Structure 1
Amino acid sequence: MPRTVRTLVALTAAVTMFVAGVSAPAEAAATNDYCVGQCNDILPPGENGNATLADILANRLFGTRPAHTDDQLKPYEQLAGNYQQLTNDTIDDYFNDSSFGVASGDVASTIQPRSDVKIVRDKKTGVPHVYGSTRSGTEFGAGYAAAQDRLWMMDVFRHVGRGQLSGFAGGAEANRSLEQTFWAAAPYTEQDLQSQVDRIAQSGAEGAQALSDISAYLEGLNSYIKQSHDGRYFPGEYVLTGHVDAITNAGDIAPFTATDLIAIAGVVGALFGTGGGGEVQSALVKQAAEARYGTQLGDQVWQSFREQNDPEADLTLHDGQTFPYGASPANAQGVATPDPGSVTPQQEIYDPTGSAVTNAKAEVAAPGNLNAAKGIFDNGVLPGAMLSDKHGMSNALVVSGQHTDDGHPIAVFGPQTGYFAPQLLMLEELQGPGISSRGVAFAGTNFYVQLGRGQDYAWSATSASQDITDTFAVPLCTTGGSVVTKDSNSYLDNGQCVPMEALEVDDSWSPTIADSTAKGSYKLIVYRTRYGLVQSRATIGGKPVAYTSQRSTYRHEADSIIGFQKFNDPAQMATAQQFQQAASQINYTFNWFYVNSTEAAYYNSGWNPVRPSTVDPNLPVLGERRYEWAGWDPATNDAQHTTAAEHPNSIGQDYYVSWNNKQAQGYTAAGFGDGSVHRSDLLDDRLGALVRSGQKLSRADVTKAMEDAAVTDLRGEDVLPELLKVIDSQPVTDPAQAKAVEQLRTWLSHGAKRVETTPGSHTYADADAIRVLDAWWPLLVQAEFGPGMGKDLFTAMTGALQINESPSNGQTGPTSGSAGANESVPHRGSAFQFGWWSYVDKDLRAVLGEPVAGGLAQPYCGGGDLASCRTALLTTLAQAAAQPASEVYPADDNCSAGQQWCADSIVQRPLGGVTDPASTWQNRPTFQQVVQFAGHR
């Protein structure tokens, strides 16, 4: 049946049921679906994240995989090579049909784990469709399905949240690195976790409902744990890590508690829902700039690199709306600038034996074929840089109905949470009293769909990362008259010397089949003060201080549960205003987008603290009462936050785009890099041009705009033209240089794409030009800015903002600061979020004599001389062109040296015992929806 006919039939059925007032049974929930065949989604690699021991061994020995482990990977990958031919009728080839319900002929299995709930799984994707006749049954089913699909991963994350990953999954270096960085960012005592549970219970009727939902969810989760253990079909990773004996079945899988879910929520919040906290590094840039140029000019240089409110920045709200927040005030008070060279990071590890740092391997006896799985977690179960790696990766394209083919808004949007096997997110449909939704949620918090669709609306988010974290400098002290040093663990609180609170956790591990790291142990220690967690030590005026991090959402990760509860309730999401009200109850820093059949809307969420007007949120401040947040209670970390109306918000703008860019005029970014060239320009240029053209857009049109941006090199499209203008100011006479220039020019004329010659060829079109730019970028940035800035300022700036983020992440440049930690993390998919694109663009346009709004305070390339700038660019271009592919794309665990496509490729990082193949690069959300609602309640 053609899609148009299916749409009319489904819409007629939905309207008939609605008008007649008939209440459809939960398992026939499709009758309440107003998307009528125009909703799709995708979540690679596949829904199934559970592998028994037999499954893992079969994967290791024969390459087989359990059903639905990777069946969404190929459709996701193939869009990159076929998007230009996409039509509305072929969207189903690259996305799942995300209609509610499962047609009778598509049912793969139906189970009833309790009398008031059924879990139906479809044949194509294996997604759990949970139908509860009671709300408790619905939530029981959500917990049961989560355990079916993500039990091992959920267990990993509850241990990460407690700083005990190594003891659970092995002492590999990556595991230790992750738990150390997480413990430094969000350490909690068991009482802290329980207090968050209690806070939910104290949040009125909605809180009581949420706690009841959690309780039923836990019943379902723990019911599956017991059944799977008794039946020996639990995840095989428990055997390989020594928790359950393969022969006797002795051992256990600990049941989950409410505090476990809070620990998982803490991990999610620390990864994706925070912002700010880089004030010390910002101060070091300012300090280095003033040392280089003097106080007045140095301050101007610092401000120009900060680009707090750059007039050329791409804005999600482009109709002139202004939402002032976070800008530096004139004559700031209480700034706590460290003495030069005095900053040292806080040491979190106490390890008197030294056993924690050994990498010696140990042989573990493995019965039978278990040898096939030996050492699979020697590199850890999670990336060690998972928390320190920046997470600004999701995107959204939303078009209001006046610009679409059928008059209804269109949305193509989704989060980018990284590529893992299984995914951090899981797909689900939940249908029951007060709940009607389909979409994704982080496993372990999936009692509600967090991003997805309801009966006649859809919503999604991108990371906003506005400044909700401040850095305070607290003077150190001692009691008893001993000498005060940077290592002292007491501090002055309102004139009184008080001890810091030591948050400690012991972790120890022994060799297992899956992890052969030698036996070891250590103690993680983080110090907590009135003003938050100690992150570094320094001196100010020669006196020791501790720099602390105070995040508004610390101790409050669970507070967002009410907002997510509303997202799943059709009665509370019928209008854009209701959506904004629900989103305002989420304290994580996200940009939220919403569509129904008539409205498109946006809201920026997050607990933005109200600071004294004299405080500069972009620099560290003295830990004194007069500089504290308004209404702040240090015992609970409650404070006054800006009102909902003060957050960027909009209903009915012609179109919206977001790729973690600046939200609106006046809304100051927490870090560096929101300038004239931003990754979101790739979306805005395409979608804006389509809207301005006057053509009526289809779902395929918007999807193609997204994917065209996803395969485009930002540097090639938006900065290479200026580079070529400088070079073209005189004829290029050197043959090697001329060849490289022509290769780049040809690539630019082809759209600066990183695409295969033919899908599946594993060879890029314009491969040499791509190689040259990859090699050239770090060299040209160094040559353009290094001489003028000087070593100290250049180093400080690379610590605040890395210079490059290419798809392969193999070209970090000759200088890389602490903010460049994710420059060398390969195979991540996401690219071009963090880099010096704007600085190069503004500087080159100034050298060319072109107008530059909000330009840099000083010229850099060639000292502002065009001829000298050209020489610097050509010199580095020649160096780049001479670099062989083997140097530009070094070997790693997945690729041999010189394999360009492979170096860029996306790897689904295994979180368990089953692996998935690499796929072609594209800069795209992990989970993605394509939606257009034809009807409305």
Structure 2
Amino acid sequence: MPRRTPRTAPVRLRTPGRSPGFLKAASVCALIAGLLSPLSPAAATTPVAAAETTAANDHCGNQCSDILPPGQNGNATLAQILLNQAFGTQPEHAEDQLGPYANLAKGYSGLTNATILNFFNDASFGVPSDQVASTVSPAGRSDVTIVRDKKTGVPHITGTTRYGTEFGAGYAAAQDRLWLMDVFRHVGRGQLTSFAGGAPSNQGLEQQFWRNAPYTEADLQAQIDNAVASNGERGQLALADAKAYLDGINAYIDASDSGRYFPGEYVLTGHKDSVTNAGTIEHFKVTDLVALGSVIGALFGSGGGGEVNNALSLLAAQEKYGVTEGTRLWESFRERNDPEAVVTVHDKSFPYATKPADPQGEALPDAGSVSEEQLVHDRTGSASGAAASGATTTAARTAMTSAKRGMSNALVVGGEHTASGHPVAVFGPQTGYFAPQLLLLQEIQGPGISARGASFAGLSMYVELGRGQDYSWSATTSGQDIIDTYAVELCQDDYHYLYRGTCTAMEKIEQKNAWKPTTADSTPAGSYTMRVWRTKYGPVTHRATVGGKKVAYTTLRSSYMHEADSIIGFQMLNDPDYVKGPEDFQKAAQHINYTFNWFYADSEHTAYYNSGDNPVRASGVDAEFPVWAQPAYEWRGWNPVTNTATYTPPSEHPNSIDQDYYVSWNNKQAKDYTTAPWGDGSVHRGNLLENRVKKLVTAGGVTRASLVRAMADAALADLRAEDVLPDLLKVVNSSPVTDTTAAAAVSKLQTWLSAGGRRTETSAGSKKYADTDAIRILDAWWPLLVKAEFEPGLGSELYTAMTANLPVDESPSAGHGPTGSHAGSSFQYGWWSYVDKDIRAVLGESVQGPLDRKYCGGGSLSACRDLLISTLKTAAGRTAAQVYPGDDQCSAGDQWCADSIVQRTLGGIKHGRISWQNRPTYQQVVEFTSHR
């Protein structure tokens, strides 16, 4: 770690004639007028008289709430897109959840249980009769109705048959996210540029995901067949549900095509003609669901990997300090099992991927021999060459990292500590900020299904995060290591390798893409071929030599070729006859093979379970580094044909029932449980939740409002300010500060700390921080002080290698950090733990799990103080324009804007920026009052 999975940059669209941004208002109006006449809905749905939907066994007692910005409606016709781009007009329900979500940043301090619905939606089952906006029977079916409420437009799907229920779920999903679903089924197949144009951001998306999951159509189908065959009746039911769901999607495609109210992006990308209606929108098929699943799994549920980068930094440490001392240095920075790390499960050990006493089979590369495997070949067109390659590489590294890095968070308190005696939970996933959102809201009621919540667009045959009749569940990304790197020895040439003693040909998988020029983007016509070489041990990622032998490094993931398997776990979570308590919840989560932390609450119990297929490694194998591709070092029980292995049993996964409280913000799960990400040390953003929730629990009487306030307060905290800055100032103030510039900076920082160290507006909507100068100073100071503190002791080469494993900073405006800018999720990865441990050591304070030596000033307090004051003076002199240089969203020097959250466009509709908050994208607030 970190593996630089890209953050979703805007999908770039081709427009007819000029880009809408350059259209004159009059011409836009004329064009829209010509488009409106054919937009009356076809007779695809049968209107039904408005009626209150049945609240099926709802035990929440009106105490379940949720929120998902920007809005439920993620589809827009061409006319609506042009109106939005010309005048900012929003389609109905496109951004009506964005305001309440944003307003919590200023409104949380006075929050009460009575005012929660000012910032969240009512997530009760059903819709009151006076709140019904529409009731339809999709495609004229009599066995399902879709009711949408007036406030949010969320679909409430009620079926009398299983088929009808799932048909309705598919139809509603297409109503709300058809274009997005189409984009991501093409991303999963590595075909986005051919579908949506060759902009660098589109190229980056398809390159990154296809590299990790280079599936053929046969691979996709085989995953479905295997998932069905290995799960008996539930597997057959899942396949039937998927087919009914797809029938619903395709029914909407046909209806919207004939009625000419399909998403306008199909016109903008040349798939449909706005005048003649010529062109087609391809029907969805079952393999599309696997392609979609592979993208979601890569984003949120595939912890591990990075062994080659680990090896390179270890070798750099050993080169500078020798094998023994260099290894000790590397291990201290790796913090595999840091005793000061915040954990989710208290006082219980779950050993996994721990450091072996005598490592076996390591295949560390020879110095200077590593090269990354080339993915793109045969590039044509005027976009070819180094410039285009650099652009797409950059896009690939930044396009989706915000989603990958920040699935969080969870605050769950047991009933013995609440005012009501019932558990309270505030939790949800941080899936990034997009327009339209990757998730959608829905309620599904039918035979064997009873749930409301969020699901990924195109995979919403079940609710994936939400609530059932008397329980709720959610997840955070866990990141434990289910990916290993193998060194396969080459034979004959670069495309044959030794597999169990036999020289075996690699499998060449190719995806060819070509695109036409667009008027909304300057990317000219071009094409390229993506090529991946596959082995039994997974796709090739790097080439190197080990002990002089030529090798290919491959990546093997336990969920590789098993993207469809998790569907059974979600099916169980939606089944009221299956989940009746915390034990059932844990059993359902055990069927999810992706790496997640799962949380549960009902009226009596809370629970936690860490999911994922954790492979049992051979004795002596160190999961941190590449190992030889030989039977002695393979996963135990590994079958290369099916990519199945022996997995650790559920009892060895971190799990718990009725702990006093749980917190998770992508932090360490439990003692001795080694996760893949670097940075699980003494300072982690999970501490922001731990400190606040522990204080609430100690006081007792926790309510929904008080737990939301704790979450919202942590969401505005600057982690560096709260947990590291006080010790930095101790060093600075260890002697009187005589320099006037430094003294003024210290005064501003101390004033900000006294006010809480938060990044908050002076008033709602002011777009200016209350402690502008202090925030600017810390933003400028942090990277300067880290470099000055550690580079002299590490040396430039080793310092650079270490920053490749863990970036120095991830502040809200840190465009250089792994999330890019405007992504909301912040302070997940950084060197705050290293600085914390080092500064405390220099101060002479007790440090558990210390670094290998004192770095700041060579361990001298006075020299460390001089270093900090020098860098602080430099930082104080940096102007706002230098600290916040501006980008495509903000002018240079606009501090608030630099931090602000942007809903990154994945279609034609744009939304305004909101003030920074570090919180889940989709979030629930739940407290059940009774149980079945």
Q: What's the TM-score, normalizing by structure 1? A: 0.92
Name the CA distance, whole Å, in 2 between partners of 1:393 and 1:97: 23
Name the CA distance, whole Å, in 2 between partners of 1:248 and 1:650: 60
1:589 matched residue in structure 2: 595
1:78 matched residue in structure 2: 103
2:423 matched residue in structure 1: 409
Match of 1:879 among 868, 874, 878: 874
Are residues 1:341 and 2:368 paired?
yes
2:178 matched residue in structure 1: 151
1:264 matched residue in structure 2: 292
Give the letter for the 1:607 counterpart.
Answer: D
Name the CA distance, whole Å, in 2 between partners of 1:276 and 1:387: 17
Contact 2:356 2:621 in 1 (8 A): yes
Name the CA distance, whole Å, in 2 between partners of 1:785 and 1:767: 28
Q: 1:669 offset after TM fit, Å?
A: 1.6
Q: 1:385 offset after TM fit, Å?
A: 2.5
Match of 1:461 among 475, 479, 484: 475
Name the CA distance, whole Å, in 1 between partners of 2:214 and 2:379: 21
Q: What SS does the corresponding residue of 1:558 show, helix, strand or coil?
A: coil
2:13 matched residue in structure 1: none
Q: 1:511 offset after TM fit, Å?
A: 2.1
2:698 matched residue in structure 1: 692
Task: Select between 297-306 and 405-414 the one with higher mean Cα deviation.
Answer: 297-306
Give the letter for the 2:164 counterpart.
Answer: G
Q: 1:682 offset after TM fit, Å?
A: 0.2
Q: What SS does the corresponding residue of 1:83 show, helix, strand or coil?
A: helix
Q: What SS does the corresponding residue of 1:357 show, helix, strand or coil?
A: coil
Contact 2:419 2:701 in 1 (8 A): yes
Q: What SS does the corresponding residue of 1:896 show, helix, strand or coil?
A: coil
Match of 2:865 among 853, 863, 870: 870
Are the structure 2 counterparts of residues 670 and 330 from structure 1 closer, same or farther at C-alpha, using a change threshold of 3 Å?
A: same
Q: 1:286 offset after TM fit, Å?
A: 1.4
Match of 1:239 among 264, 267, 274: 267
Name the CA distance, whole Å, in 2 between partners of 1:580 and 1:534: 35
Give the letter for the 2:201 counterpart.
Answer: A
Are residues 1:861 and 2:856 paired?
yes
Deviations 1:884-916 (A, max 9, x none): 000100110110000000000000001110100
Give the letter for the 1:745 counterpart.
Answer: Q
Q: 1:359 offset after TM fit, Å?
A: 11
Deviations 1:639-670 (A, max 9, x none): 11100111000001000000000000010121
2:910 matched residue in structure 1: 915
Are residues 1:712 and 2:717 paired?
yes
Name the CA distance, whole Å, in 2 between partners of 1:57 and 1:298: 60
Are the structure 2 counterparts of residues 262 and 356 from structure 1 closer, same or farther at C-alpha, using a change threshold of 3 Å?
A: farther
Alignment of 1:503-518 (within 5 A): 503-518=509-524
Report percent identity of matched pairs.
62
Q: 1:354 offset after TM fit, Å?
A: 5.5
Name the CA distance, whole Å, in 1 between partners of 2:324 and 2:399: 39
Are residues 1:657 and 2:655 paired?
no
Give the letter for the 1:699 counterpart.
Answer: R
Q: 1:467 offset after TM fit, Å?
A: 0.1
CA RMSD in angstroms, aligned pairs only: 1.7
Give the letter for the 1:631 counterpart.
Answer: G
Alignment of 1:625-774 (within 5 A): 625-693=631-699, 695-774=700-779
Are the structure 2 counterparts of residues 166 and 706 from structure 1 closer, same or farther at C-alpha, using a change threshold of 3 Å?
A: same
Are the structure 2 counterparts of residues 357 and 910 from structure 1 closer, same or farther at C-alpha, using a change threshold of 3 Å?
A: same
Q: 1:384 offset after TM fit, Å?
A: 6.4
Q: 1:386 offset after TM fit, Å?
A: 3.1
Name the CA distance, whole Å, in 2 between partners of 1:429 and 1:77: 24
Contact 2:53 2:147 in 1 (8 A): no
Contact 1:81 1:759 in 2 (8 A): yes
Q: What SS does the corresponding residue of 1:786 show, helix, strand or coil?
A: helix
Are the structure 2 counterparts of residues 561 and 31 from structure 1 closer, same or farther at C-alpha, using a change threshold of 3 Å?
A: closer
1:5 matched residue in structure 2: none
Match of 1:120 among 147, 151, 159: 147
Name the CA distance, whole Å, in 1 between partners of 2:510 and 2:652: 39
2:831 matched residue in structure 1: 836
Q: 1:793 offset after TM fit, Å?
A: 1.2
Name the CA distance, whole Å, in 1 between partners of 2:886 and 2:807: 22
Q: What's the TM-score, normalizing by structure 2? A: 0.92
Name the CA distance, whole Å, in 1 between partners of 2:88 and 2:854: 57
Structure 2 stretches of 5 or more lacking a match?
Answer: 1-49
Are the structure 2 counterparts of residues 147 and 379 from structure 1 closer, same or farther at C-alpha, using a change threshold of 3 Å?
A: farther
Are residues 1:66 and 2:91 paired?
yes
Are residues 1:292 and 2:298 paired?
no
Give the letter for the 2:853 counterpart.
Answer: Q
Are residues 1:209 and 2:237 paired?
yes
Are residues 1:385 and 2:398 paired?
yes
1:604 matched residue in structure 2: 610
1:535 matched residue in structure 2: 541
Q: What SS does the corresponding residue of 2:642 show, helix, strand or coil?
A: coil
Name the CA distance, whole Å, in 2 between partners of 1:896 and 1:383: 25
Give the letter for the 2:284 counterpart.
Answer: F
Q: 1:178 offset after TM fit, Å?
A: 1.3
Alignment of 1:463-482 (within 5 A): 463-478=477-492
Give the letter for the 2:98 counterpart.
Answer: L
Q: 1:91 offset after TM fit, Å?
A: 0.1
Name the CA distance, whole Å, in 1 between partners of 2:384 and 2:181: 27
Name the CA distance, whole Å, in 2 between partners of 1:200 and 1:470: 23
Deviations 1:787-825 (A, max 9, x none): 000112111100100010000114x4xxxxxxx5x26x1
Contact 1:174 1:384 in 2 (8 A): no
Q: What SS does the corresponding residue of 1:308 show, helix, strand or coil?
A: coil
Alignment of 1:159-308 (within 5 A): 159-202=186-229, 203-308=231-336
Name the CA distance, whole Å, in 2 between partners of 1:574 and 1:440: 21
Number of matched pairs: 877
2:41 matched residue in structure 1: none
Name the CA distance, whole Å, in 2 between partners of 1:783 and 1:29: 64
2:451 matched residue in structure 1: 437
Name the CA distance, whole Å, in 2 between partners of 1:330 and 1:858: 23
Q: 1:513 offset after TM fit, Å?
A: 4.7
Task: Select between 337-346 and 397-406 the one with higher mean Cα deviation.
Answer: 337-346
Contact 1:356 1:522 in 2 (8 A): no
Name the CA distance, whole Å, in 1 between partners of 2:280 and 2:419: 57
Q: 1:494 offset after TM fit, Å?
A: 2.2
Contact 2:486 2:555 in 1 (8 A): yes
2:495 matched residue in structure 1: 489
Are the structure 2 counterparts of residues 233 and 359 from structure 1 closer, same or farther at C-alpha, using a change threshold of 3 Å?
A: farther
2:71 matched residue in structure 1: 46
Are residues 1:99 and 2:124 paired?
yes
Name the CA distance, whole Å, in 2 between partners of 1:839 and 1:524: 39
Are the structure 2 counterparts of residues 293 and 358 from structure 1 closer, same or farther at C-alpha, using a change threshold of 3 Å?
A: closer
Deviations 1:611-648 (A, max 9, x none): 01210001111111110001111111111110011100
Contact 2:381 2:524 in 1 (8 A): no
